[in-house]
Structure 1
């Protein structure tokens, strides 16, 4: 390695490479940022509780063990793990001023954060497939959406995410860092890491442009195309009540898509025009808010889950009532 900033440790090998995060660099001129991280902590708690409830209800209710709820369970599972991988580490870094991380830990941090955030996007594709088949082929739905098909689809998505992120890490390990190891972000951001390299980072640069297309934009195009097909199919339905009833089955999924993609679209389209503080806050909220809202939306907008929760509460309350003297 060539000359190194004296404030940076001289050892920059893959085993003891240090990546720094600083409040001064992360957020410029914003006082009382500790309250923002406390807010992230409460968002994390709500996300963990909500997704755990959804997963538990699906496991306990036999009626919810359908292909559709395989995808819903996987979405809750991914949201739970994604929040757990990101939020505690971010709070530890910024709120408790542990502003350094080893190279290997940074790679692990990157892998898990990117994997779970990517799976959120791809899970929405699986759910859009379910809605597309349910509305366009209602009589053949149980043939076109089976447990085998849904498990195969989700397994393919997991393999795609793992392989692409492992490739990204392999390319990062080829890089040398001569001048700075300070990442101006709230987590181990792939794009910011490879831009710090002082040797050839072109493969990482190319992969950094391919991954968003593969993980974000192609899934979004597929989802939008599925709803164009759904709209075309519903347009052929004569009765307006039937159209409304069919469309209501899509409202939960549409809400999830909007919550996930709208902030990302804003971040990408206004990336060069918004202040660094606003960009970091927007990206961090994009990462933590959807996992919190997803279970709330599914509980409030999905009739099957609401009925299942009511039924489970009644079943649990019967032994409690029978144990009281008035009912014994």
Structure 2
């Protein structure tokens, strides 16, 4: 069994099927997108952490999302950039590297849900219990919520990948442009029923909790706003809720489209292209939709830039 398990320590990635000319164009666009995503997210992250006036629960919880976007993009994009410049027959990756990439890709997707769930809870408390907001959303609560969002994802994805790496593998080609759990256990000639059952259960439970909690949270917020006669408060609540829901819907739509196309092998190339787009677009839009739209963050960044320019 041990000999079979490590029969192929070097794997071949099928990668994106593009011509050399289109590969160079894709490389340039993806590189620009990567630099933009990293600069925007890191800028907002640093701004929130260094500016005391932004040390509010809403913004501190948002730091989890920016950090997750940075990790997810870094795990995926540099490898794709390298593959665009590499001959398809030489796109090799070690089994260990493939497992690490798969782990962080699934971690990124899972924490996207758990982080938006705790952000929804924060908005619920702020709008439905404004007088108790400061007593509920303490620094300790922010730390607990953040740790819970990451901890749950770390454990669930750890189990997911542990069930896969226990398998022997008799194939050496990853039939995908990136390493993920399904691509890894498809390398095995053993029975992978337990992998499929856990993977399906994991996905269903995550989506049920994610969609259920967000729907209930915003339904409650909508009821409170409907009963309230304070137009200013309702307008502010609507703006923050709309921003959060935009992020959530963007994530859900992108995820469901890729999952749906997984069921049709004839659309494999389209699925890979859309998968790359959906892994780049949300992290690029999140800083604009949530970060820069927030008045406090925007003014803080503009103030810092103005001070730097005046000091030159």
The two structures have a TM-score, normalised by structure 2, of: 0.89
Is contact 2:111-2:149 (8 Å) kept?
yes
Structure 1 residue 107: Cα displacement: 0.8
Of the three residues 74, 93, 100, the one matched with 1:84 is 74
Instruction: State whether structure 2 residue 154 is matched by structure 1 residue 162.
Output: yes
Of the three residues 78, 100, 114, the one matched with 1:108 is 100
Q: Taking structure 1 as reference, are residues 94 and 108 closer, same or farther at Cα in structure 2, changes over 3 Å only?
A: same
Of the three residues 106, 130, 133, the one matched with 2:125 is 133
Structure 1 residue 126: Cα displacement: 1.4
Structure 1 residue 271: Cα displacement: 4.1
Structure 1 residue 319: Cα displacement: 3.4
Q: Where do 5+ consecutive residues of structure 1 fail to align?
A: 2-10, 321-328
2: CA distance, partners of 1:254 / 1:158:
21
Q: Taking structure 1 as reference, are residues 241 and 104 closer, same or farther at Cα in structure 2, changes over 3 Å only?
A: same
Instruction: State whether structure 2 residue 215 is matched by structure 1 residue 224.
Output: yes
Q: State the match for 2:201 in structure 1.
A: 210
Secondary structure (helix, strand or coil) at the match of 2:22 reads coil
Q: State the match for 1:326 in structure 2.
A: none
Is contact 1:34-1:95 (8 Å) kept?
yes
Is contact 2:114-2:149 (8 Å) kept?
yes
Is contact 1:267-1:283 (8 Å) kept?
yes
Structure 1 residue 58: Cα displacement: 0.6
Q: Structure 1 stretches (4+) deviating beyond 4 angstroms?
A: 28-31
Of the three residues 190, 195, 198, the one matched with 2:189 is 198
Is contact 1:17-1:103 (8 Å) kept?
yes
Alignment of 1:247-326 (within 5 A): 247-272=238-263, 275-320=267-312
Is contact 1:19-1:183 (8 Å) kept?
yes
Secondary structure (helix, strand or coil) at the match of 2:150 reads helix
Instruction: State whether structure 2 residue 114 is matched by structure 1 residue 122.
Output: yes
Of the three residues 23, 35, 41, the one matched with 1:45 is 35
Is contact 2:73-2:280 (8 Å) kept?
yes
Structure 1 residue 165: Cα displacement: 2.1
The structure with the larger Rg is 1
The answer to which structure has the higher helix fraction is 2
Number of residues of Structure 1 aligned to a counterpart in Structure 2 = 308
**1:167-217 CA-partner distances (Å, limit 9, x unpaired):** 222211221223x32222111121122133211212211221122224444
Q: State the match for 2:166 in structure 1.
A: 174
Is contact 1:18-1:181 (8 Å) kept?
yes
Q: State the match for 1:150 in structure 2.
A: 142
Structure 1 residue 134: Cα displacement: 0.8
Structure 1 residue 44: Cα displacement: 0.9
The two structures have a TM-score, normalised by structure 1, of: 0.85
Structure 1 residue 248: Cα displacement: 1.1
2: CA distance, partners of 1:213 / 1:91:
32
Cα RMSD (Å) of the superposition?
Answer: 2.4
Q: Taking structure 1 as reference, are residues 45 and 15 closer, same or farther at Cα in structure 2, changes over 3 Å only?
A: farther
